[in-house]
């Protein structure tokens, strides 16, 4: 019929509903991660405030609380862009969210490939990080708990061997060192034979003066680098599943934001 109103196809009728579904799916997705980031920042701030300011500043580069705050703030800002962008249908914010996720995903992929190809360099870098953590062991209670957990969990001591603890000023094996822990290692290096045994926190005393074979009867003598490498090679499928679990939410965010961008652009 000439001059009559054009009929609306079923696909055009369903388009607004599809747009609303994608919009609120992305909104819920971003909101969940936004709240998660807020919790991370809150925990980081609380842990940081519980320490003395000078102690936290002394080991800023290896402060787990600070790392948690930095990561949490970044995730908070990123998901805030996606959250507000989806709610307001703001293409600029949605593009910022989408591009940021793509960049993060690519960087993770590149880091994984480079870590595999240049495993020796990655090992050297990790050794430096652990050595730095050993130096600041007594400066930060969170870092101390983290190292103790890792050494107990992996059954290791130091980065390469137990004598690495001489890098710490308290455990330094020097006759001029006035510390009572001179030539010792932390109790987390000790081999605990009984599950219910009361832990002797001085079980690592003077262990750096012992030969490798003698010390092995009382403490873990292997470094954490070797133990971690063995664990990684033994749990490749588990790590692959974790990597996939971390990548999937990013891919979901990228796809949803890009679909919503296309829908908004086509409606304008």
pLDDT tens column, 149-207: 999 999 999 999 999 999 999 999 988 899 989 999 999 999 877 665 666 777 888 89
Q: How far apart are CA 172 and CA 97, in angstroms?
A: 49
Listed residue (120, 52, 121, 44) closest to 75, CA to CA: 44
SS3 157: coil
- How far CA 44 is from CA of 18, 141, 220, in Å, comes to 39, 13, 32
- Within a domain: residue 249? yes
| Confidence band for 142, pLDDT divided at 50, 70 and 90 | confident
| Confidence band for 12, pLDDT divided at 50, 70 and 90 | very low
20 shares a domain with 75: yes
End-to-end CA distance of the chain: 28
pLDDT at 123 over 50: yes
- Within a domain: residue 70? yes
Residue partners of 171: CB distance under 8 A and separation at least 6: 165, 179, 181, 182, 183, 184, 185, 186, 208
- Within a domain: residue 4? no
Instruction: Indicate which CATH number applies to the domain containing 153.
Output: 1.10.1450.10
pLDDT at 7 over 50: no
Q: How far apart are CA 18 and CA 22, in angstroms?
A: 6
**DSSP letter string, 91-138:** HHHHHHHHHHHHHHHHHHHHHHHHHHHTHHHHHHHHHHHHHHHHHTTT
- Within a domain: residue 2? no
pLDDT of residue 197: 60
101 shares a domain with 162: no
- Within a domain: residue 1? no
107 shares a domain with 75: yes
129 shares a domain with 167: yes
187 shares a domain with 146: yes
Higher pLDDT, 193 or 61: 193
Angle (nearest 5°) at CA 103 between 92 and 108: 150
SS3 190: strand
The total number of structural domains that make up the chain = 2
Which domain range does residue 15 map to? 10-115+242-267
- Within a domain: residue 106? yes
**What does DSSP assign to residue 161?**
B
| Mean pLDDT to the nearest integer, 211-230 | 88
- Are 202 and 187 in contact, with CB atoms under 8 Å apart? yes
- As given in the structure block, the two tokens for residue 136 are 């600041």
- Within a domain: residue 173? yes
73 shares a domain with 125: no
């Amino acid at each position: 019929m000439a001059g009559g109103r054009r009929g609306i196809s079923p696909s055009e009728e369903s388009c607004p509903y599809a747009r609303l579904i994608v919009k609120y799916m992305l909104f819920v997705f971003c909101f969940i991660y936004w709240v998660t980031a807020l919790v991370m920042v809150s925990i980081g701030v609380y842990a940081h405030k519980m320490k003395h300011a000078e102690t936290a500043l002394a080991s800023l580069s290896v402060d787990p609380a600070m790392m948690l705050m930095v990561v949490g703030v970044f995730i908070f800002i990123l998901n805030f862009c996606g959250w507000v962008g989806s709610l307001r249908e703001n293409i600029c914010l949605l593009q910022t969210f989408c591009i940021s996720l793509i960049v993060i995903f690519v960087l993770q992929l590149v880091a994984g490939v480079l870590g595999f190809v240049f495993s020796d360099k990655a090992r050297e870098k990790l050794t430096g990080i652990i050595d730095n953590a050993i130096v600041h062991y007594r400066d930060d209670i969170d870092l101390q708990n983290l190292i103790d957990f890792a050494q107990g969990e992996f059954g290791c001591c130091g980065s390469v061997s137990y004598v690495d603890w001489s890098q710490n000023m308290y455990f330094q094996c020097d006759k001029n060192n006035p510390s009572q822990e001179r030539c010792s290692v932390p109790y987390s290096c000790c081999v605990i034979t009984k599950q219910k045994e009361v832990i002797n926190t001085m079980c690592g005393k003077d262990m750096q003066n012992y030969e490798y074979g003698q010390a092995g009867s009382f403490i873990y003598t292997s470094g954490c680098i070797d133990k971690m490498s063995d664990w990684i090679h033994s749990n490749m499928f588990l790590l692959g599943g974790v990597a996939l679990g971390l990548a999937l939410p990013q891919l979901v965010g990228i796809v949803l934001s890009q679909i919503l961008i296309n829908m908004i652009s086509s409606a304008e």
